[in-house]
Amino acid sequence: MYKVIDLNIKINDYNINYEVAGEGKPVVLVHGWLTNLDTMRPLQNHLSKNFKVYNLDVIGFGKSDLPKKPLSSEDFADFLNDFLDALNIENPILIGHSNGGRMIINLAGRNLRKINKIVLIDSAGIVPKRKPKYYAKVYTFKALKNITKLFPNTEMFRNIRERMLGKFGSSDYKNSPEVLRKTMSIIVNEDQKGVMPNIKAPTLIIWGENDTATPLEDAKIMEKLIPDSGLVVYKGRSHFSYLEELPNVLVVLDEFLKDDIGRS
């Protein structure tokens, strides 16, 4: 495993924290709502053996600055695009969980840049059938505390859980920063189905059968709408299926990305 370098970059007057590890084709990891780059570190540790992996704290989360105003789905996608531009990352492999997937869908669906491949993990992006207020609560750490109890009882996952809850550990939806509450109210109502058919990159969709934050039906819609896509479902798993089924997910990722190993 390559040495991890912890870095900071200024993007549109915001301090953005990220890590880099490994060498090879660029892979960018984008975490989900109210989490941080630590939740993607198991993927980073594995993929950095064969790729140059960028793992970032999305604006508003982790060690990155909070936005000054509420953000839309397009704002998040533009942020990701600006991050790629700032680091001269060309033709990347983009891997996103939950809201990270929503960002990637919007960026790719608007054809903001050339993308090599995409991996969507329990991705947001489809307007929920339940009231948005419900999903705003589901995406808080009150729910995440319950979700993370499903993680394997190993030191690595215990550390991930502690770091996930670090910034908002005692907060629920009411007590989280107002700008994030308003942001969630915006993005949960923005449906990305319209841009999905425009996605040109080969797309792997990974999902937990029992995901209640982004139901499996969403994954089936994405597979239908995204032209070159395939769906892998893990039985009995939830919104963090990639952590609950980590060894199997890594095998699937290796197969999906095998032709990119050794390419610059």
pLDDT score recorded for residue 139 = 53
pLDDT score recorded for residue 72 = 98
pLDDT score recorded for residue 171 = 41
Domain contains 171: yes
- What whole-number distance in Å separates Cα of residue 16 and Cα of residue 104? 18
- What whole-number distance in Å separates Cα of residue 246 and Cα of residue 163? 18
Range of the domain at 11: 5-258
Please name the residues in contact with 130: beta carbons below 8 A apart, sequence gap of 6 or more.
none
What is the separation of C-alpha 187 from the centre of its chain, rounded to a whole number of angstroms?
Answer: 15
- What whole-number distance in Å separates Cα of residue 262 and Cα of residue 264? 7
b/e 115-136 (16+ beta carbons within 10 angstroms → b): bbbbbbbbbbbbebeeeeeebb
Domain contains 263: no
Q: Structure pTM?
A: 0.87
Domain CATH code at residue 71: 3.40.50.1820
Q: Which amino acid is at 233?
A: V
Q: How many domains does the chain have?
A: 1
Domain contains 127: yes
pLDDT score recorded for residue 172 = 39
Domain contains 84: yes
Domain contains 264: no
Domain contains 235: yes
Domain contains 238: yes
pLDDT score recorded for residue 135 = 54
Domain contains 17: yes
pLDDT score recorded for residue 70 = 96
The predicted-structure confidence for 72-129, as pLDDT tens digits, reads as follows 999 999 999 999 999 999 999 999 999 999 999 999 999 999 999 999 999 999 997 7
C-alpha distances (whole Å) from 58 to each of 79, 139, 151 are 8, 15, 23
**Which parts of the chain register pLDDT below 70?**
1-2, 130-175, 263-264
pLDDT score recorded for residue 144 = 56
Contact status, residue 59 vs residue 85, Cβ threshold 8 Å: no
